[in-house]
Amino acid sequence: MAGKAPRIQADIVRRIVALENANSKAVVHYNIGRAVDTFGRSEGDSGSPEVQAAVWTVRINNLEDHLRTNRKDHQNRRSYTKLLHKRAKMLKYLKRESLERYYLCLKQLGLTKDMVEGEILQPKRVE
């Protein structure tokens, strides 16, 4: 019985600190950390264009979910549009610097070329 108690306690602690019990800010923070780990060119890299685009993509996805439920939140809609343009500018810079890294980053982020190039038209409401 003594061998089971530490396992049970460990299981209880694991359930308490699980990500599914976290608030939305903690989930976004975790996702940003994963993006930095995935796209960083070295350990602790947070400034490369790939990492910045990945972090902004996480934030954009979070804002899209928020705007689906809060249709009249115009301030966050503006923030969403600004982030879209920031990401597009960063990816255009990456394309100028290294075409191979640009296409690899687009593929890993699940973006298309149309999402980055040309005019970004934003609908009034995210459906």
In the predicted model, is pLDDT for residue 123 greater than 60?
no
Check residue 107 and give its pLDDT.
Answer: 93
Distance CA 48, CA 40 (A): 7
List, for residues 57-92, the tens digit of each pLDDT value: 999 999 999 999 999 999 999 999 999 999 999 999
Q: What is the 3-state secondary structure (H, E, C) of the chain?
A: CCCHHHHHHHHHHHHHCCHHHCCHHHHHHHHHHHHHHHHCCCCCCCCCHHHHHHHHHHHHHHHHHHHHHCCCCHHHHHHHHHHHHHHHHHHHHHHHHCHHHHHHHHHHHCCCHHHCCCCCCCCCCCC
